[in-house]
Structure 1
Amino acid sequence: MLDWGRSRTTIRSGTLLHDHPKRNMIAISAPQPPATHRPHRVNEVRVSPPSGEDHDVMSAAVALDLLRMLRGAGIDAWVDGGWGVDALLGEQTRPHADLDIVLPATHLARAREVLSGAGFVALREWLPTALAMRHPDGREVDLHPVTPTADGGGDQELFAPDPPFHYGPPTTGFLDGQGVPCVSAETQLRAHMGYEPQPEDRADVVALAARFALPRPEGY
């Protein structure tokens, strides 16, 4: 999930890396997976958006259209990331640059086919952990494949030595007043652990913890 408005990067071994708000480091200069999702920071710089980049290209209406397209193709997609937080809160609280989707790993090929047919191309291919696809108009969809688990959730495979990240069963949230399947508040709070949070992350955690009467993770 690449949000130019709040990207923090690390220069490590000559490669510019983006600090992903969940667990992964996204290589901007080369589409290669990181050795670890929490590298030692040597130096940090702020990344400016490319000229003409739309900071809020992923509106609620666009997110809903993409979700309908995927689910209409038989893909069991749940909303994750920033839009997942706002779905749980029932309102948009900040701009979003992309749409994060959790889906069964067995549905990934179909999702890629559907998005490719709609004009999206692969931006970051870090399988089996994630696949990001981007449209020429700026829309971006980040796919997080999981292996379904007995509790109704799923496990996302991460890069060694990290164990899989467990998504609990999805719940129902609301985008523009429309019910959508989304990642639960408990899973969202766990996903905000293990990295240095940005102001938006802190706001997300505070809002979710207050709305669902859940304890804040350490550091928040």
Structure 2
Amino acid sequence: MLRALWLEFGDFYDTLTESFLHADYFKKLEIEREVRQNPGLGQRYLVYVPDDALVLATLHHILDVATDRLLNTYPPITIDSSALLFEQVRELMKGYVYQLKELKTMGGSTFDQVFDWLINVLKERSQQVYMILVKYLKSKRLEPGYGPEVLRRLLQDFVREKGYYGIVYVNNTPLPVAAAAIKAFNELTKRRRVVLGFSKYRGPYPLVHKEIASSSVKELCEKLRTELQR
């Protein structure tokens, strides 16, 4: 991410002349190659990424992770527990923050300080952010707690507990369980009806012992849960 930001928005700071180079995309690549060939130049040319670009990119990444957790956490995260969503994100992004720990803003703030500031701002406005994320999910015909990971886990549990063979038919296409979950999820989000077929036998044309038809991800997840409770 950092390199992409630098190529798009950043520059080199020349410590010898104490000035920015105002390098275009190709000039940046050229100097980057020179630094790789002569590592000593790394002390002269410092990579610069504007603070606002770094903050916006980090915010985008945080919201992506939050959306994923909102989608793939069951029982669903509610608006009343929305602040906890961003604590989950903080924990999940520890490795990302660690990788960028040496970054500093022009004001001297470290990257982890910028990250914590963003998380805390989002926590303070967590209910408003939650409603925005839910609205975004619904525009994709999705709901909190009904993501691809949730569907995959349910499908795996169903196949294992009911004793079905590990190939699931998605609209007559045989697929391993994990791939079947992805295929079913993608089809349902495209407003296409899905019929899952399950067999207790292996082979090129096994008898299908059970079918589950659905028109939405939520409907399919709830049908699988109902079957698991029987």
TM range (shorter): under 0.3
TM-score by length of 2: 0.21
Of Structure 1 and Structure 2, the greater strand share is in 1
TM-score by length of 1: 0.21
Of Structure 1 and Structure 2, the greater helix share is in 2
More RCO (CA 8 Å, sep 6+): 1
Highest Rg: 1 or 2? 2
